[in-house]
Amino acid sequence: MKRVVAYVDGYNLYYGLLKGTSCKWLDLVAFVGSFLRNDQELVAVKYFTAPIKTFPHDFAAVDRQKVYLQALSSFKLIEIVQGFYAKNKTLAPALDAKCRACDVVANGYVPVMKLEEKRSDVNLAVAAVTDAATDAADSFFFFTGDSDQVRTIEAIRNRFGKRVCVFNPHESFSVNLKTAASYYQNIRRDLPCQCQLADVVTLPNGRAVRRPDAWR
């Protein structure tokens, strides 16, 4: 059997495929496993994410993410690799009359705090290249639409002779990722809803976690 390790860009997956749906309680092992051929075996799923910040309009978002990560931790195949979010002050266009009337507006812009996920893309690249160098798998599955990973994919293929398959969670087509990869595919929009965890997941310590009501 050919060994497969999957690298899941959590930010890309959420904003490309899950946001605005009721399918966020995703079973990553079943989801990744749906892309395997009969001669392939999944040996690890590496999930790259970052603890989200609390939003004033949705304070429960942090708790939902914590519960989901706990549920994923019940799978021996899944490794969760965390980066972080950085807050940066920047300017954004004022979009309504109320904002345009604010004293802080300058030339049609208002100051805002922008959240940027940090380190996840680097963590993913380092993990994948390290696994290729140590012969951890025969095929490498990338779940991302981030063309910044093109050089990573090229290194794994050209330097280590590994097969790299890219599954893009976005609807847009990436010529750069397709050119770099051994195989490229945009993920079907209906697939996540077919790969959901049980409503109640029992953790290794015996405690149970439940699907958040907002994700039903």
List the CATH number of the domain containing 56. Answer: 3.40.50.1010
For residue 44 the two structure tokens come to 């690890």
Rounded to an integer, what distance in angstroms lies between the CA atom of residue 194 and that of residue 190? 7
Q: Are residues 25 and 53 in the same domain?
A: yes
- Model pLDDT for residues 34-44, shown as the tens digit of each residue: 999 999 999 99
The number of folded domains in the chain is: 2
Q: Which of these three, 94, 115, 136, is where a domain ends?
A: 115
More confident residue, 108 or 81: 81
Average pLDDT over residues 141-150: 97
DSSP summary character for residue 206: S
Whether the pLDDT of residue 88 is over 70: the answer is: no
Q: Are residues 102 and 135 in the same domain?
A: no
CB of 124 within 8 A of CB of 150? no
Mean pLDDT of the chain: 88
Whether the pLDDT of residue 83 is over 90: the answer is: no
**Helix pair 150-160, 120-133: axis angle to 10 deg:** 0
Q: Are residues 154 and 50 in the same domain?
A: yes
Q: Are residues 169 and 97 in the same domain?
A: no
Q: Are residues 153 and 71 in the same domain?
A: yes
Rounded to an integer, what distance in angstroms lies between the CA atom of residue 204 and that of residue 59? 28
Average pLDDT over residues 205-216: 95
- Model pLDDT for residues 164-194, shown as the tens digit of each residue: 999 999 999 999 999 999 999 999 999 999 9
Q: Are residues 173 and 66 in the same domain?
A: yes
Q: Are residues 184 and 149 in the same domain?
A: yes
Q: Are residues 134 and 204 in the same domain?
A: yes
Domain containing 103: what range? 86-115
Q: Are residues 111 and 172 in the same domain?
A: no
Q: Give residue 84's pLDDT band: very low, low, confident or very high (50, 70, 90).
A: very low
Q: Give residue 51's pLDDT band: very low, low, confident or very high (50, 70, 90).
A: confident
Q: Which of these three, 97, 115, 133, is where a domain ends?
A: 115
Q: Are residues 61 and 145 in the same domain?
A: yes
- Following DSSP, what letter does each residue of 79-121 receive, concatenated? EEEE-EEEEEEEEEE--SHHHHTSTT-BTTEEEEEEEEEESHH
Q: Are residues 131 and 159 in the same domain?
A: yes
Whether the pLDDT of residue 24 is over 60: the answer is: yes
For residue 108 the two structure tokens come to 């049609």
| pLDDT computed for residue 82 by the predictor | 87
Phi, psi of 199 (to 5 degrees): -55, -35
Q: Which of 191, 214, 166 is nearest to 68 (CA)?
A: 214
CB of 126 within 8 A of CB of 120? no
Whether the pLDDT of residue 211 is over 90: the answer is: yes
Q: Are residues 78 and 181 in the same domain?
A: yes
pTM of the entire structure? 0.84
Whether the pLDDT of residue 33 is over 90: the answer is: yes
Helix %, strand %, coil % of the chain (to 5): 35, 30, 35
| pLDDT computed for residue 120 by the predictor | 73
Each residue of 42-78: b (16+ CB within 10 Å) or e?
bbbbbbbbbebeeeeeeeeeeebbebbbebbbbbebb
For residue 42, give every residue at least 6 positions away whose Cβ sits within 8 Å of its Cβ, in sequence order, or none.
4, 5, 6, 29, 32, 33, 36, 77
